Structure 1
Amino acid sequence: MDTETLEHGIMLSQMKADHKALSSTLAALAQSQFPPKAEKNLRKFAASEAAIYLGITPRYLALTADEMGLEVEKVGRGERRYYSLEQMNQIRVYLAEKAGDDTAKALNYDPRRKADEDIQIIACSNFKGGSAKTCTSVHLAQYMALQGYRILLVDLDPQGSASSMLGFVPEMVSEDDSLFASIRYDDPRPMSEVVQKTYFDNLDLAIGSPFLTEWEFFAPHYATLAGQEEPGLRNRIADIEDEKKQKGISNKRLRELEEELARNHAKLSDCLQRKLYFTRLQLAFEDVEDAYDIIICDTPPSLGYLSNAASFAADHLLVTIHPQWIDCESMAQYLATSIAHNEFFESTVAKQLGPEYLVPKTLQYLITRHDNTSRPETDVVTMLRTQLQNVLTSTMLRSSAIAEAGNVQQTLYEAERSNFNGKTYDRALDSVNRVNSELEELLKSYWGRS
């Protein structure tokens, strides 16, 4: 064995040993911190906070809860009221029904989309780590759920960070219970059977896990094989069509040809689905469209096959930007690569399926982790707003409150304000709310709501 081969063998052996040691340690830690039967719970909301989410006064909230006969938690001598998110959503529905024919008023209480309004799909993307994609995705998902929308959060990152934030341990989730099961090529499961309920009412999750790395490997493999199969199938279909046109063909032979034609069209359809790998997530979503108002995709920090599938499925691409020059250079590369990918997707779909399968999409930019006291960062923000279209007016500020909440797998919506410096928490929450409210208004505009 030569020296180079020996060195490679030593490196691989070390990798295996290190992986085994680290994995066993992390598994033991996960078992101690997240026992198999442990469940994450959402805090209850004080009357003042619940009233703000519902758009009513605390007094009217109390009167409505009593009118409905809800068993509300009361604390202390003053019997301060606390409401669960489930109770808040029950109140939403009750008030919307009470509004009767006043559609605008009913929608303010219960904003779920109507039968003539299409589901909206958002993909949060950037191929550079540290741009706050997961933080943005989870906070947006929880904000929308708090507003009364039915949300599906789709964790496309094999690291499963969004899933961890919602109380799941990706390494302990079986393949059949992960998102991978609904997009794999061998015996895929319907998305409705993969989606998991969470402790956050109206917010469901398709769990990201290490199994997704397999899809990054198999997607190009199956696409290549499908590309090789397609010409033969098309030729056989053409031959069958020609034979059907021949004079004097017997009824028996015609029936045989019809059956063979149907089989080959089915094979061609399956072949195209494998070839057009980037449509696979979109097709998986069709199974759950009626159950949700908004789907939010948290993509991995790359422009690989998973990110491309999310981008193609999305109605709105939300690109997160950290306002530093090196991140802007990275984003310029991201845009160049995305342009090439999307041009290929659109031309391929138009050629293979028809231009009617292409739908308009929007591109929005969100400035994240912004230190608005930093002059250099402020200069970068000014440049971005000058050079780019559709940069959200609101920015997500850098905050120790967001970081500290994240350290214990919480968002600002879950964390207790009393655990932070009050002003720091309020400033961070206001920043996040402004961003999410702006995105909510964008979606409402696509439903034709003022």
Structure 2
Amino acid sequence: MPHSENPSFQTEKASERISRHANEIAARLTKRGAVPNFGEPDDRTLRSFSLGEVAEILGVSGSYLRQLSIDGLGPTPELGTAGRRSYTLRQINELRAYLASARQKEALKFCPRRREGEKLQIIPVAGSASTTTSLYLAQGLALQGYRVLAIDLDPNGSLSKMFGYYFPDIGFPDHYVSMYGALSYDDDRSSMSSVIRPTHFDGLDLVPGTCELEIFERESTKRFHSEDLRIADVSIKMVSALKEVEANYDVVVIRCGGGSFLTAGAYEAATGVLLTVRPEWPEITSMTMSLSVLSHFVSLIEEAGRSVNHDFTKFLVTRHSPRDVSQQEAVALLRDSLGHDLLTVTVWESDAIRDAGVKKRSLYELVAGAVGRSAYEQAMETLNSTNAEVMDIISEVWGRPPMYVMRASRTAGKASS
């Protein structure tokens, strides 16, 4: 009997019919293997890094690493053709531990994890290209030996997809898989640790973003109007959730979404804020509006009797075409207006970054040949230099001497053999 002739379908509500179609399609896709399992990433792995790349990452010479390998000190690298050595990221971190122990005066250089008394750094990223910026910052920090937690507050899961996680907007699993689980108003709220997933980068974990986050925004809006619940009250939940896992990480990178309540929570939990902007006049206008929103959220928190003491608020120019005269003028205006709060480095417009994004990968995951060596090296120079500035800012907050910008300037533009 066709569905239209079935009495049960004639009494079916529109919402029930739509939900039925969604669940049926999701079930068929899952059966065909077209949709990854909930909470499980695709089967990607991170490539190994050449001896030259590892030397650059650690700030030592390639000959020194080669001699360590010959002497049987530290992890044993994989030997390729012509005896070329390569290391996994896990082995690089093992090298860090060995070098920090063997060369204790340089322990901070090799093992930059925060020490006792140094607070967890929580950095929301908002603005144009916030997904790309969050991705490269989180991965860059992990490559430098930091323990990193990336949080995706985008209901579309843009950052999560770059890590190989895909959560369809239909057919939710039995348990929450995003920050909604840790922030839920239900009595059976999930623990923060239960929504954290591993990534293929050693030392880098992820809280995925799903359309559950839109549910949290709707619930919060309803409570805001019916129970006199303030945005600032909701943001306490974000602070409390992050405190549950504070001991496990050095830096938290939050990819902000469009939700008001989640964004307020990110800004209250933050120790520093990174705002990105394209050097185009409409984009700069949009950024000023974002600043007004940030100011509004902070004022709501202050009105609730809590102070907001960010260690820094920095701005980053992204997708910059340095030969474009109009963009040169825009960058000059930003630098004149923001002073030292604008990062020195700008991230250049890059076909290599764009091509890597199409592959759902970062340049850190690819070799130069995958996107063109010249474009690869130029893009890596701006990305590494940007991350170096941010890491030096973190070092300053922790009371450490800066070292990353200096190291990046020595290796900028060099090919990784």
CA distance in 2, matches of 1:381, 1:67: 50
SS in 1 for 2:119: coil
Using the size of structure 2 for normalisation, the TM-score is: 0.84
Q: Identify the residue that residue 406 of structure 2 maps to in structure 1.
A: none
Kindly indicate whether the alpha-carbon contact (under 8 Å) linking 1:219 and 1:305 is maintained by their aligned counterparts in 2.
Answer: yes
CA distance in 2, matches of 1:377, 1:149: 34
Q: Identify the residue that residue 63 of structure 1 maps to in structure 2.
A: 67
For residues 347-379 of structure 1, give each alpha carbon's deviation from its aligned partner in whole angstroms, at most 9, with x where no partner exists: 2134xxxx5xx4344211110011112111111
Q: Of the two, which has the highest radius of gyration? A: 1
SS in 1 for 2:176: helix
Using the TM superposition, give the Cα deviation of residue 120 of structure 1 relative to its aligned residue in structure 2, in angstroms: 0.5
CA distance in 2, matches of 1:33, 1:341: 38
Note the 1:1-400 alignment, pairs <5 A.
20=22, 31-32=33-34, 34=36, 38-65=42-69, 66-68=71-73, 70-76=75-81, 78-100=82-104, 102=105, 105-126=106-127, 131-171=128-168, 174=173, 175-186=175-186, 187-224=188-225, 226-227=227-228, 276-300=233-257, 302=258, 304-350=260-306, 358-389=308-339, 390-400=341-351
CA distance in 2, matches of 1:29, 1:420: 35
Q: Identify the residue that residue 253 of structure 1 maps to in structure 2.
A: none
Q: 1:88 to 1:31 in 2, by over 3 A?
A: same
CA distance in 2, matches of 1:220, 1:316: 26
CA distance in 1, matches of 2:370, 2:41: 26
Gaps of 5+ in 2: 1-13, 402-417
CA distance in 1, matches of 2:32, 2:323: 38
SS in 2 for 1:204: strand
RMSD: 2.8
SS in 2 for 1:363: strand
For residues 192-228 of structure 1, give each alpha carbon's deviation from its aligned partner in whole angstroms, at most 9, with x where no partner exists: 2221111100101111111111111112333455538
SS in 1 for 2:150: strand
Using the TM superposition, give the Cα deviation of residue 99 of structure 1 relative to its aligned residue in structure 2, in angstroms: 2.1
Using the TM superposition, give the Cα deviation of residue 420 of structure 1 relative to its aligned residue in structure 2, in angstroms: 2.0
CA distance in 2, matches of 1:403, 1:433: 16
CA distance in 2, matches of 1:325, 1:26: 47
CA distance in 1, matches of 2:32, 2:375: 31
Kindly indicate whether the alpha-carbon contact (under 8 Å) linking 1:124 and 1:298 is maintained by their aligned counterparts in 2.
Answer: yes
| Worse-matched range after superposition: 392-401 or 358-367 | 358-367
CA distance in 1, matches of 2:375, 2:290: 33
| Worse-matched range after superposition: 219-228 or 152-161 | 219-228
Q: Identify the residue that residue 384 of structure 2 maps to in structure 1.
A: 433
SS in 2 for 1:169: coil
Kindly indicate whether the alpha-carbon contact (under 8 Å) linking 1:323 and 1:377 is maintained by their aligned counterparts in 2.
Answer: yes
Q: What is the count of residue pairs matched by the alignment?
A: 379
For residues 380-422 of structure 1, give each alpha carbon's deviation from its aligned partner in whole angstroms, at most 9, with x where no partner exists: 1111111224111111111010010011111111111111221
Kindly indicate whether the alpha-carbon contact (under 8 Å) linking 2:152 and 2:160 is maintained by their aligned counterparts in 1.
Answer: yes
Q: 1:199 to 1:411 in 2, by over 3 A?
A: same
Using the TM superposition, give the Cα deviation of residue 70 of structure 1 relative to its aligned residue in structure 2, in angstroms: 3.0
Kindly indicate whether the alpha-carbon contact (under 8 Å) linking 2:217 and 2:259 is maintained by their aligned counterparts in 1.
Answer: no
The letter for the 1-side match of 2:314 is Q
For residues 158-197 of structure 1, give each alpha carbon's deviation from its aligned partner in whole angstroms, at most 9, with x where no partner exists: 1111111111112287343322211111121121222111
Kindly indicate whether the alpha-carbon contact (under 8 Å) linking 2:123 and 2:272 is maintained by their aligned counterparts in 1.
Answer: yes
> Normalized per residue, which structure has more helix?
1
The letter for the 1-side match of 2:352 is A
Kindly indicate whether the alpha-carbon contact (under 8 Å) linking 2:130 and 2:276 is maintained by their aligned counterparts in 1.
Answer: yes
CA distance in 2, matches of 1:173, 1:368: 35
| Worse-matched range after superposition: 372-381 or 331-340 | 331-340
Q: 1:68 to 1:222 in 2, by over 3 A?
A: farther
CA distance in 1, matches of 2:25, 2:132: 25
SS in 2 for 1:295: strand
The letter for the 2-side match of 1:121 is I
SS in 1 for 2:276: strand
Identity of aligned residues (%): 31
The letter for the 2-side match of 1:325 is W
Kindly indicate whether the alpha-carbon contact (under 8 Å) linking 1:156 and 1:208 is maintained by their aligned counterparts in 2.
Answer: yes
Alignment partner for residue 413 of structure 1, among 364, 373, 379?
364
Q: 1:421 to 1:23 in 2, by over 3 A?
A: farther
For residues 248-279 of structure 1, give each alpha carbon's deviation from its aligned partner in whole angstroms, at most 9, with x where no partner exists: xxxxxxxxxxxxxxxxxxxxxxxx9x970022
Q: Identify the residue that residue 415 of structure 2 maps to in structure 1.
A: none
Gaps of 5+ in 1: 1-11, 229-271
